[in-house]
Amino acid sequence: MKRGIAILGSTGSIGTQALEVIAAHPDHFSVEVLTAQSNADLLIAQSQVFNPNAVVIADVSQYQKVKDALDPLDIKVFAGVDALAQVVELDSIDVVLTALVGFAGLQPTIKAIEAKKQIALANKETLVVAGQLVTQLAQQNGVNLYPVDSEHSAIFQCLAGEWHNPIEKIILTASGGPFRGKKKEELTQITKAQALKHPNWSMGAKITIDSATLMNKGLEVIEAQWLFDLKPNQIETIVHPQSIIHSLVQFTDGSMKAQMGLPDMKLPIQYALGYPQRLPSDFPRFDFSQFPSLTFEKADTDTFRCLSLAYDAMHVGGTLPCVMNAANEIAVSLFLNDEIRFLEIAELVEEVMQHHSVIAQPQIEDYFETDSWARETALHKIRG
């Protein structure tokens, strides 16, 4: 039977690639829901091709435009942030791909879990902010969280057939971003254009900047803690510039498994949507002769402070990861708006974290209040 797929964030990088995967496997998947923040034109174009049951445009000012365009196709059109959380409850949905960026993915993911939909998780911030709450909720509702990040998909693939064997540690690989090998003094005048040029991956602006600061790897470290039920000292990171080995698992006998492949997000997207099947693909194949050496090096956490800040937040727990994430979202936005410099991203995040009184056992409302506090604090420190 076909799986009905809802894509939250269909106009972004992950969403558009997910639709390519679905288009290549029409016998396996049907598109039930598409959502976008404000890109009405692309949402309309996608809907005209895939004919979903319903669409949501979060920007209410674009509602009439989308409704008028899709009315002849008898597609239900909704608008607003609340609609994102409501539409995932449709009976025709089997899997919800959460490809929203940042904290915005938390509430719809919780609603999808409560509706007992399987989750293909591309929104790492959901587990960074509220990992304990979300994983407990998933267990209570019998919902699986299938990772879409290439690193977590790699760990998931390495663990297939090994669920009964204890993990000694996992090793997440990082490309090192566009500034690998540079020292702080070389990064003082970094421009937005330079930071947006990732050497290996094609991603949205926010994730690309996070990769340049190594915050993206920090977010993935915290996500891995919750996805695979690990302690902080069981998660290591290593810089692997070629991005061929996507991550590794070391078991208690010392043996290691690694998942390899060319850097292409369509592969982990397809694995998550099709699990436990490995569906055929025409993705480019890895050729060993094109990669005579694969190299590894330690991450420079003195220069790229965001990674060590993430480890700090993970060790403390409670609401501190939520604060770190919110402050980082604001800092990246300020950098993209030319209001702060590249190195000030980490400085701002650290300053906000230091001023937070951690709630050790937060409830859902605590996360929303903490997120708002961190954003307001970060903006006040820059804009006054």
- Using the predicted structure, report yes or no on whether residue 243 has a pLDDT greater than 80: yes
Q: How confident is the model at residue 237 (pLDDT cuts 50, 70, 90)?
A: very high
Structure tokens at 244: 């061929």
- d(CA 167, CA 322) in angstroms, rounded, equals 27
Q: How many Cα atoms occupy the beta-carbon half-sphere of 145 within 13 Å?
A: 29
- Using the predicted structure, report yes or no on whether residue 109 has a pLDDT greater than 90: yes
371, 129 Cβ separation under 8 angstroms: yes
Q: How many other CB atoms sit within 10 Å of the CB of residue 223?
A: 27
- d(CA 190, CA 177) in angstroms, rounded, equals 13
Chain length of the chain = 384
E strand or H helix at 174, and its extent?
strand 167-174
E strand or H helix at 29, and its extent?
strand 29-36
- Using the predicted structure, report yes or no on whether residue 189 has a pLDDT greater than 80: yes
Residue with tokens 């290691």: 256
5, 94 Cβ separation under 8 angstroms: yes
- Using the predicted structure, report yes or no on whether residue 104 has a pLDDT greater than 90: no
* β-strand partners of 31: 5
Q: How many helices (H) and strands (E) does the chain have?
A: 15, 11
Task: Find the mean pLDDT for residues 283-291.
Answer: 94
Q: How confident is the model at residue 94 (pLDDT cuts 50, 70, 90)?
A: very high
Looking at CATH, the fold of the domain delimited by 317-384 is given as Rna Polymerase Sigma Factor; Chain: A (1.10.1740)
- d(CA 36, CA 55) in angstroms, rounded, equals 8
Looking at CATH, the fold of the domain delimited by 3-147 is given as Rossmann fold (3.40.50)
- d(CA 268, CA 281) in angstroms, rounded, equals 12
Q: What is the structure's pLDDT at 384?
A: 80
Angle (CA) 56 6 332, round 5°: 70
Rounded to a whole number of angstroms, the CA Rg of the chain reads 20
- Using the predicted structure, report yes or no on whether residue 197 has a pLDDT greater than 90: no
Q: Is 381 helix (H, G, I), strand (E, B) or coil?
A: helix
Q: How far is CA 12 from the centre of its chain?
A: 12
Domain chopping of the chain, boundaries: 3-147, 150-262+283-313, 317-384
Q: How many other CB atoms sit within 10 Å of the CB of residue 249?
A: 23
Task: Tell me the backbone φ, ψ of residue 152, rounded to 5 degrees.
Answer: -75, -30
| Chain segment 115-132, per-residue pLDDT in tens | 999 999 999 999 999 999
Residue among 156, 108, 343, 362 at smallest CA distance from 257: 156
Q: What is the structure's pLDDT at 267?
A: 97
Q: Where are the alpha helices (DSSP H) in the chain?
A: 13-24, 40-50, 63-70, 81-87, 106-114, 125-140, 150-159, 192-195, 205-213, 215-227, 266-274, 305-316, 320-336, 344-354, 364-383
Q: How far is CA 59 from the centre of its chain?
A: 22
Percent of the chain with pLDDT over 90: 95
Residue with tokens 């810089």: 239
